[in-house]
Amino acid sequence: MCGIFAITDHPETAELSNLGLFALQHRGQESAGIVTTHKGELFAHVGMGLVSEVFSRTLLATLTGRTAIGHVRYSTTGASHLKNAQPLVFKNIHGPMAIAHNGNLTNAMEVRAKLEKRGAIFQSSTDSEVIVHLIARHQGPVEDAIIESLRQIEGAYSLLFLTPEKLIAARDPYGFRPLILGQIGKSYVFASETSALNIIKAQVVREVEPGEIIIVEGGKLRSVKPFKPVRPARCVFEQVYFARPDSNIFGRNVQAVRRDLGRALAREMQGIKADIVVPVPDSGVSAALGFSDVSKIPFEMALVRSHYVSRTFIKPTQELRELAAELKLAPVVDTLKGKRIVLIDDSIVRGTTSRKITKSLRAAGVREIHMAISSPPIVSPCYYGIDTPRAGELIANRQSIDEIRKFLDVDSLHYLTLEGMLKAAGAGDPEGYCTACFTKVYPTPIPDYQTAEPAKASGDQGPEHQSLM
Ligand code: SF4
């Protein structure tokens, strides 16, 4: 759960990076950073908090240079500390270098243990630093060192590297996380989502392909594909929940995909009797619109989200998250009283937030609640960078659909089928997705987590793996 951004050879590189990161803020709110390069040196500023809290005009003016990379972070490995904030900046035999990483490696602990045995000293607890150490151990041109390092890691990565001479973008062979290439004038732009390109008025060129490495040097762009091709495993959850609705990722507009997911859900629930369709804002809005299109049941914004809940309440602890849920959503009693409603959301993780919502709906006098989820039950954790909790905390991992229905106190509970979700999301390529959190079928080896899982099941979080969703 991170966002990355880069721009080459532009006179306002720090300002545009700041804007780009702002448009990726939904991908991470714990820390933000920008690194620029000028006359053989790197200039960095990273800090804890939102982009608007980390960067001021004055500060941006100190980030000299025409090329930059930036990062917003939401930790999936490594604790929420400044030392783990990215971009990470380091110096090795290749000179100064910065790295920004979106995704999660699945063999980082294994590789780290081997490196530490050989004397490597790590500064942070992020999986991304493993890549830094691997690069430092390879001689020769920096892109060869990067390629050789990436051959040794498993899992999900969309990466940006900055050196005084080059900007290098890399996407893992499975293409778990999105990475978009754009252009503004003669400058190249890379971003996790098109929302960051749109805000700076850059044109979308294309997606960086799975397994592709793009090198920008001296204003010219080169592409290499050094890895053996594999079947892509794009994260379907990016489209279901995580990416911004105005972004286009994996070849489709996210809002349109979510609306199609809602349409598919309505077709699967044909015959449901209800007076209104109510989304859980903001996550269920697009799917509820699609559901209403097909079912012809009127759409009503009968839950109102407060956008003024202090950031104090979105800190990543379960207790604060639960408090925030109560403060954030208010039922519109006049619209809901005595009604039969279809309540739409994109997913149920622990079930605790949904339970609070249904409780407040009952208190508002709703007669029947038919809960409809625009994805299948989440039964297994994500190890590729979306922050789901460990298996034991996922309600669908330990309870049947009817047990969940009873827990949520709803009259009926419907999940979109896997086939329905892939067809709606896939637009011609339903095969090219990762669905591991719904199916337990992981597209890559997960050595770090295979050993960590017994500890997780007994209530131990494992090595600094946080559950923040
Ligand atoms: S496990 Fe789920 S959330 Fe993680 S990459 Fe796969 S589809 Fe996405």
pLDDT tens-digit readout, 349-379: 999 989 999 999 999 999 999 999 999 999 9
Q: Is 32 helix (H, G, I), strand (E, B) or coil?
A: strand
- Predicted confidence (pLDDT) per residue in 131-149, tens digit: 999 999 998 899 999 999 9
**Per-residue pLDDT, 291:** 98
> Nearest to residue 129, comparing CAs of 88, 79, 83, 76?
88
> How would you class 264 by CB atoms within 10 Å of its CB: exposed for 0-12, middle for 13-18, buried for 19 or more?
buried
Check pocket membership of 347 for ligand 1, CB cut-off 6 A.
no
* pLDDT exceeds cutoff 70 at 459: no
Question: Which among 177, 242, 384, 465 is the best mutation to test ligand 1's pocket, defined by most ligand atoms within 8 Å of the CB?
Answer: 384
Per-residue confidence at 449, pLDDT binned at 50, 70, 90?
confident
Return the C-alpha torsion angle 136, 211, 83, 58, nearest 10: 110
Q: Is the shortest distance between the CB of 235 and ligand 1 below 6 Å?
A: yes
pLDDT at 97 over 80: yes
State the pLDDT confidence band at 128, using cuts at 50, 70 and 90: confident
> Is the peptide bond prior to 275 cis by the omega test (within 30 degrees of 0)?
no
> What is the tens place of the pLDDT at every residue in 34-78?
999 999 999 999 999 999 999 999 999 999 999 999 999 986 656
Q: Average pLDDT over the chain, rounded to whole?
A: 90
Overall average pLDDT of the 313-335 stretch: 71
CA of 180 to the centre of ligand 1 (A): 19
Domain residue ranges in the chain: 2-231, 248-442
Taking the centre of ligand 1 as the mean of its atom positions, its distance from the CA of residue 449, in whole angstroms, is 14
Average pLDDT over residues 202-209: 97
- Given a contact cutoff of 8 angstroms between Cβ atoms, the answer to whether 181 and 225 are in contact is no
Residues 6+ apart with CB under 8 A from 347: 237, 240, 241, 283, 373, 374, 375, 378
Q: Which ligand 1 atom minimizes the distance to the CA of 176?
A: 5
Q: What is the pLDDT of residue 292?
A: 98
115 pLDDT more than 70 = yes
pLDDT in tens, 225-238: 999 999 999 999 99
145 alpha carbon – ligand 1 mean position (Å)? 29
Q: Please determine, for residue 417, whether its predicted confidence score (pLDDT) is greater than 60.
A: yes
Atom of ligand 1 nearest to the CA of 242: 3
Determine if ligand 1 sits within 6 Å of the CB of residue 446. no
For ligand 1, the distance from its centroid to the CA atom of residue 296, given in whole angstroms, is 32
List the beta bridge partners of residue 97: 90
Residue 386 in contact with ligand 1 by CB distance below 6 A? yes
CATH assignment of 2-231, among 3.30.465.10, 3.40.1500.10, 3.40.630.30, 3.60.20.10: 3.60.20.10
CATH 3.40.50.2020 fits 248-442, yes or no: yes
CA dist., res. 332 & res. 303, Å (int): 6
- Whole-angstrom CA distances from 330 to 184, 300, 390, 469 are 42, 14, 29, 21
CA of 377 to the centre of ligand 1 (A): 13
167 vs 448, more confident: 167
pLDDT of residue 388: 82
% of the chain residues with pLDDT over 70: 90
Q: What is the rounded distance in angstroms from the CA atom of residue 405 to the CA atom of residue 264?
A: 21
> Which residue's CA lies nearest to atom 4 of ligand 1?
382
Judge if the beta carbon of residue 343 lies within 6 A of ligand 1.
no
Which residue's CA is the nearest one to ligand 1's atom 5? 235
Q: Is the pLDDT of residue 457 over 60?
A: no
- In this model, does residue 199 exceed pLDDT 60? yes
Q: Residues 6-17: pLDDT tens digits?
A: 999 999 999 999
On the question of a common fold for 2-231 and 248-442, the answer reads no
How sure is the predictor about 263, in pLDDT bands with cuts at 50, 70 and 90?
A: very high
Q: So which residues are the catalytic ones? A: 2
Ligand 1 pocket, residue 68 CB under 6 Å: no
